[in-house]
A and B are shown apart, each in its own frame.
Chain A
């Protein structure tokens, strides 16, 4: 997740199965805890916790996935570019 920010992502959307429906039983619950940790990290270093978010949906919910993706993209647009990308632009 942090690598994605290093590679220039303005936001990171993590998508997991519905809680209780994970093939790996508690995999998505653990992922949720890790996303929370990374959100705390990116917040503390000034990127903003809102730049990472986890969504849960089933593999059959294509339209919901599209709606979540659009919602997240809009949210990141409102936040503007990541301070990393701002710094890189200045340097360039």
Chain B
């Protein structure tokens, strides 16, 4: 899922300074699962903002909504009937959802209520960690299901670097060395020959280096 963290309330209040009537828009997608932008978080944020503004002597009117997904046009359209009645939309969807809202409602300021994080997994309730950087050229079949792009701090493709000490990355003792994990897994799977199949260099043109990416599926259009 796409993860995120709430923006500090002080930062949100500063963003909202010019406005007295806004929409707080959540999303039932990834941000609901990682507890940062779903219906419940819309309620908490809206309550917080109303209290903060009232305590400061300047009330704010808030419409609370949550869309099925802010990254799909059909759900964004559900706001069209009333969005012009509000001065701004504070979205707590991921950056993709917020931008898509901004593209569709060009005359209403769109504000981010969260900081979008990474593509990750739920380790346990309340804890998420990164697994994928969407490089566009997956090699997990050669690396024991462990991503060298994400799990190695340097995204190396030829094994552990000199900063790998006793299975830990030089970045932090709390970060396992991605390549140590890969080697250990390949040994356990008896697939060490995969190590020689990996190209020591990686083409990053399928990743961000090729600019904003687009996928077109002719069979679905």
Within 8 A of B (CB), among A15-58: 41-42, 44-47
Q: Is the CB of A13 closer than 8 A to any CB of chain B?
A: no
Query: Which residues of the other chain, A, contact B77 by a CB distance below 8 angstroms?
Result: none
Are A6 and B47 in contact (CB-based, < 8 A)? yes
Q: Is the CB of B162 closer than 8 A to any CB of chain A?
A: no
Are B47 and A45 in contact (CB-based, < 8 A)? no
In Å, the complex CA distance between A6 and B52 comes to: 10
Query: Which residues of the other chain, B, contact A83 by a CB distance below 8 angstroms?
Result: 55
Query: Which residues of the other chain, B, contact A44 by a CB distance below 8 angstroms?
Result: 9-10
Query: Which residues of the other chain, B, contact A6 by a CB distance below 8 angstroms?
Result: 47, 50-51
Query: Which residues of the other chain, B, contact A87 by a CB distance below 8 angstroms?
Result: 54-57
Q: Which residue of B48, B55, B57 is within 8 Å of A2 (Cβ)?
A: B48
Are A45 and B48 in contact (CB-based, < 8 A)? yes
Q: Is the CB of B188 closer than 8 A to any CB of chain A?
A: no
Q: Is the CB of B44 closer than 8 A to any CB of chain A?
A: yes
Cβ-closest chain B residue relative to A83: B55
Within 8 A of A (CB), among B36-71: 44, 47-48, 50-52, 54-57
Query: Which residues of the other chain, B, contact A3 by a CB distance below 8 angstroms?
Result: 47
User: Interface 1/0s, chain A 51-92, versus B by CB < 8 A?
Assistant: 000000000000000000000000000000011100110100
In Å, the complex CA distance between A23 and B54 comes to: 38
Query: Which residues of the other chain, A, contact B50 by a CB distance below 8 angstroms?
Result: 6
Are B9 and A42 in contact (CB-based, < 8 A)? no
- Interface SS of chain A: helix
Q: A2-B44, A3-B47, A6-B47 are in contact. Are A90 and B57 (CB under 8 A)?
A: yes
In Å, the complex CA distance between A45 and B48 comes to: 8
Are B57 and A5 in contact (CB-based, < 8 A)? no
Are B9 and A41 in contact (CB-based, < 8 A)? yes
User: Interface 1/0s, chain A 1-16, versus B by CB < 8 A?
Assistant: 0110110000000000
Query: Which residues of the other chain, A, contact B44 by a CB distance below 8 angstroms?
Result: 2, 41
Query: Which residues of the other chain, B, contact A90 by a CB distance below 8 angstroms?
Result: 57
Most A CB contacts (10 A, CB to CB) among B48, B50, B51, B56 go to B51
Query: Which residues of the other chain, B, contact A46 by a CB distance below 8 angstroms?
Result: 52, 55-56
Are B54 and A84 in contact (CB-based, < 8 A)? yes
A35: shortest Cβ distance to chain B, in Å? 13
Closest 8 CB pairs of A and B: A2-B47, A45-B52, A83-B55, A46-B55, A44-B9, A41-B48, A84-B54, A87-B54
B residues lining the A interface (CB < 8 Å): 9-10, 44, 47-48, 50-52, 54-57
Given contacts A2-B51, A5-B51, A87-B56, 9 further A-B contacts (CB under 8 A): A3-B47, A6-B47, A6-B50, A6-B51, A41-B48, A45-B9, A45-B55, A84-B51, A88-B54
